[in-house]
Structure 1
Amino acid sequence: MSHKIAEVAIAILYQDNKFLMQLRDNNPAILYPGYWAFFGGHLEMGETPETAVQREVLEEINYTLPPSFAFFGIYPDAKAIRHVFHAPLEVGLEKLELNEGWDMGLVPLEDVIQGKSYSAIAQEFRPIGPAHQRILLDFAQEFLP
């Protein structure tokens, strides 16, 4: 029996050198429960990664990616093949609707480096998903001053 690795499309959304992240639900049945991660999700049958990331971001936070959104890279591991896109977040957090996850916030690079960020809702520091931390460190090295 072969096990197909999940393909997902995720978005690095940034504003003022901070990254919009979702604190995933604290549900042990999901990957990275209670961790900070990117918005995005699984590709549906026949869907391109570009279409999937736009659909997922709209579903999860009611945000339409700007036309300038661009491909960053593919990050495969034993759990998922991650198609990573990036775009500026062109609205304030108050304009977003969190429809999936426990919390969301703009995470500064210092927190990414430390591997954890504070959640006002959880009232504690929560870890950043290891794959997401690696992706953000790569992104910061390439795009941040």
Structure 2
Amino acid sequence: MNKQPVQVAIAILYQEDKFLMQLRDNIPTILYPGYWALFGGHIEAGETPEVAVRREVIEEIAYEAPNFTKFGNYEDEKVLRNVFYAPLTVELNQLELNEGWDMGLLTATDISQGSCYSANAGEIRPLGPVHQQIMLDFIEKFKL
């Protein structure tokens, strides 16, 4: 019997030529511990991906994006990622990190090299491979 992939909604939040990413908690039992990733999470029963991405971003960083646009779906054997994007219209210090180890505005160079320094971690940390690919596709599509 084939198990359905878990559905998640994740957000590309951009400000000029930088992209807000979350440094995931360094807990060995979670997917990509201590990796840079996009904000977002599981879609709850009865929720649309659009509702889920908005809820997750509010829960994780207390940010209400003006609008989200669908970017695409990324699916593997375990997870179906519904990817949305929206502008980040506030400064980083106006966000409240409620989930994760750190957050930062990463450049296209950070994303293409696959790592970025985290002040909270005190070291350079890698990007999650799937999240890096999503960001590279986004940067390529919009020629950022």
- Name the TM-score class by shorter chain: over 0.9
Q: Give the corresponding residue for 2:105.
A: 106
Quick check: 1:13–1:86 contact (8 Å CA) kept in 2?
yes
Quick check: 1:60–1:99 contact (8 Å CA) kept in 2?
yes
How do 1:48-127 residues align onto structure 2 when only pairs under 5 Å count?
A: 48-67=48-67, 69-127=68-126
What per-residue deviation string (whole Å, max 9, x for no partner) do you get for residues 116-139 of structure 1? 011001011100000000000000
TM-score by length of 2: 0.96
Q: Give the corresponding residue for 2:26.
A: 26
Unaligned residue ranges in structure 1 (runs of 5+) = none
Cα separation, 2, equivalents of 1:50 and 1:105: 24
What per-residue deviation string (whole Å, max 9, x for no partner) do you get for residues 12-62 of structure 1? 001121110000000111111000000000000010000000000000000
Cα separation, 2, equivalents of 1:79 and 1:11: 19
Q: 1:140 is aligned with what amino acid?
A: I
Matched residue of 1:82: which SS?
Answer: strand
What per-residue deviation string (whole Å, max 9, x for no partner) do you get for residues 60-94 of structure 1? 00000113x20000000123100000011000001
TM-score by length of 1: 0.96
Cα separation, 2, equivalents of 1:79 and 1:118: 29
Matched residue of 1:65: which SS?
Answer: coil
Cα separation, 1, equivalents of 2:65 and 2:41: 15
